[in-house]
C-alpha cells in the first residue's frame, strides 16, 4: 500500500508554527501565574519549545510510520486518533520537562509534576485543534514527489 506522508519541510513548518503559537499564548499566562518576568518565562518557554520541536518531529514521523505498519490510513484522522496522538506526545515530553520546570521555577518534584499535569490537560486540547487546522490549511498534496516518481492519490 502506497501512502503519501508529509515531507520533512512540511513537518518542520508544522513544528515551528505549533511552538510559536504556543509560546505566544502561554508565556504571558505563566509570567502572571508564577509572578516571574516575561524574560524569565519566555526563556524557559523557548527552551522547552526547542526541545519539544525536536521531539515533535521524531514523534510525528514515528507515529505516521506506526500507522502505516499497522495498515491504518494516515488521513483522515478521527477525534480518537487525534486525542491519542496528543496525549501520548505530552507524556513523552513530560520526561524532559519536569526536570527543567523544577530547575527554572525552583519547584520541588511534586509541584513541578502538578505544573506539568496542568499543562498536560491544556496542551492536548490545543494540539487537537492546531493539528486539525494545520491539516485544513496545509493538506497533503494530491501528488507527492517520492524518489524518482510522483505518487497520485
Contacts of 105 (CB under 8 A, 6+ apart): 34, 36, 44, 111, 112, 115
Distance separating alpha carbons of residues 74 and 46, to the nearest angstrom: 30
Q: What is the pLDDT of residues 40-89, one digit of tens each?
A: 899 998 988 888 878 888 888 999 898 889 888 877 888 898 888 888 88
Q: Which residue ranges make up each domain of the chain?
A: 8-152
pLDDT of amino acid 7: 86
**What is the reported pTM?**
0.66
Highest mean pLDDT, choosing among 3-7, 122-126, 132-136 = 132-136
Q: What is the pLDDT of residues 99-133, one digit of tens each?
A: 999 998 899 999 999 988 888 788 878 989 999 99
pLDDT of amino acid 153: 44
Amino acid at each position: 500500500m502506497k501512502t503519501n506522508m508529509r515531507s520533512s519541510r512540511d513537518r518542520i513548518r508544522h513544528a515551528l508554527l505549533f511552538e510559536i503559537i504556543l509560546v505566544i499564548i502561554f508565556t504571558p499566562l505563566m509570567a502572571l501565574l508564577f509572578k516571574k518576568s516575561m524574560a524569565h518565562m519566555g526563556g524557559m518557554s523557548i527552551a522547552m519549545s526547542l526541545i519539544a520541536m525536536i521531539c515533535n518531529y521524531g514523534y510525528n514521523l514515528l507515529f505516521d510510520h506506526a500507522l502505516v505498519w499497522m495498515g491504518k490510513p494516515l488521513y483522515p484522522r478521527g477525534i480518537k486518533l487525534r486525542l491519542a496522538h496528543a496525549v501520548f506526545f505530552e507524556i513523552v515530553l513530560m520526561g524532559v520537562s519536569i526536570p527543567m520546570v523544577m530547575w527554572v521555577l525552583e519547584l520541588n518534584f511534586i509541584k513541578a509534576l502538578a505544573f506539568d499535569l496542568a499543562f498536560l490537560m491544556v496542551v492536548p486540547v490545543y494540539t487537537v485543534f492546531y493539528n486539525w487546522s494545520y491539516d485544513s490549511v496545509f493538506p497533503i498534496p494530491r501528488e507527492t514527489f517520492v524518489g524518482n516518481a510522483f505518487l497520485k492519490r
